[in-house]
Structure 1
Amino acid sequence: MTEPAVPDTTRLAAASLAAGDPTGWFEQLYAEAGAGTAHVPWDVPRPSKLLAEWARDAAVTGAGRRALVVGCGLGRDAEFLAGLGFTTTAFDISATAVRTARERHPDSPVEYAVADLLDPPPQWRGGFDLVCESNNVQALPQPVRDRAIAHVGPLVAPGGTLLVLAAAATGTGTAGPPWPLTRAEIDAFAVPGLTPVRVDELVDADDPLIRRWRAEFRAAG
């Protein structure tokens, strides 16, 4: 019997971690995908379902407000938020991902940038009415993950919102990435000045073993 193929994310992350570079595999993945030798599993033509549902249910409008998308990849969530009227900035550590996002959306109003969540531009601090962290931190191992979590909240402007979407840890260990987040890690996004609005652990309708976090935090105004 043929052994199942190792996902490109697992293969590249393992090599990157073994080399002591916990984030280098992102650029390798997007570069190989551009060359046709790897697959980016989150490269889909629609925004995150949990983001779209949240925006719909909360009747979110971005007019006159700024949004930041953390680890934007190829731009699906950033373009969605721009479509809601947000003045949107989106960043990724992978220069190839950012270049590809710009090429795919040549007329987009989104400001795409190459940046590192572990060392974000200081001018972004407190600068965004909505910060969306969707499935990015879950792709980082410890102890880098704790550093990443600590840098997300300070990007939210006074009175602004942080939305965190991530796989939820269920106690069944699997080879990552992703490495699903625990409730304690979700709670850790509430850095001083941020208060939880609601934290939902959602069960996948098709597979009850799959659970996901959708957590909303609000900055003091």
Structure 2
Amino acid sequence: MSADDDARRLQVADPTGWFEKLYAEAEAGTASVPWDVPQPQPHLVEWADGVDGTGRRALVVGCGYGRDAEFLASLGFEVTAFDISPTAIAAVRERHPDSSVSYVVADLLDPPAQWRRAFDLVVENMTVQALPVALHAEATEQVAALTGGELLVLAVARDEGPDPDGPPWPLTPAEVEAFAGDGLAPRSIRRDNGRWVAEFVRQVAMN
């Protein structure tokens, strides 16, 4: 069975708890994680060209084994990265024992209250699409609420229409645009080789 098949089997069985089951099976050597690659997401690298994160706080949603979090830390960001899977967080801490990143077990659908609008940059890289369509709106709302300044959304794209037989469940144009809730405004939304690369910024209220 391939890594993608492993993930798909578990996703269907448990729409949020499957992450922990997959990581636990990977640690036991009975499954593999499809996104376990050493390089950060290419669109994140492209976005970060020339970016200096010094003095800025960043949050990585669904951090997995930490490839994006470690990349942001290398740019000078003070990074918090979370995953719902305790096994994933234990593994990433073991992989990066000297990391400056704060790796935390947390649930996107019920994040710590103190995280609300607490981060200058939030990176959401294909976590929402790993959840069933019925959970997309709630997850999107939570991501937006965590963003204090800038939000970068990376996801597989699909057109409007009937819900796909996931997993995963790629995002429609309307679902990507929905990240603009809670005071965020779109800076750029583009489709590149079947992927969304979308940037949002928090509007500053004028007195």
TM-score range, shorter chain: over 0.9
- What is the CA–CA distance in structure 1 between the aligned matches of 2:70 and 2:59, rounded to whole Å? 11
What amino acid does structure 1 have at the position aligned with 2:157? A
Q: For the structure 1 residues 173 and 109, does the alpha-carbon distance in structure 2 shift closer, same or farther, using more than 3 Å as the test?
A: same
Alpha-carbon contact 1:88-1:111 (below 8 Å) kept = yes
5 Å-filtered alignment, 1:18-167, equals 22-56=15-49, 59-157=50-148, 160-167=149-156
Cα distance, 1:156 vs. partner?
1.3
Tell me the distance in 2 between the aligned counterparts of 1:30 and 1:94: 7
Compute the TM-score of the two structures, normalised by the length of structure 2. Answer: 0.93
Query: After superposition, what is the alpha-carbon deviation per residue over 1:91-142, rounded to whole angstroms, capped at 9, x for unaligned?
Result: 0000000110100000000000000000110000010000000010010002
Q: Distance in 1 between matches of 2:88 and 2:191?
A: 30
- When the two structures are superposed, what TM-score results if normalisation uses the length of structure 1? 0.88
Identity of aligned residues (%): 61
Distance change in 2, residues 1:182/1:31 (3 Å): same
The structural deviation recorded for 1:146 is: 1.2
Corresponding residue for residue 200 of structure 1: 190
Distance 1:29 1:13 in 2: 9
In structure 2, the gaps of 5 or more residues are none
CA shift, 1:5, in A, is: 9.0
CA offsets 1:132-176 (integer angstroms, 9 cap, x no match): 00010010002112110110111111xx10000000015697643
1:11-34 Cα deviation digits (max 9, x unpaired): 111222xxxxx2010000000000
Q: Is the 8 A contact 1:10 1:175 kept in 2?
A: no
Superposition RMSD in Å:
1.8
Q: Quick one: distance in 1 between partners of 2:162 and 2:144?
A: 29
Which ranges of structure 1 fall in alignment gaps of 5 or more residues? 17-21, 204-210
Give the number of aligned pairs. 203
Residue aligned with 1:189, SS = helix
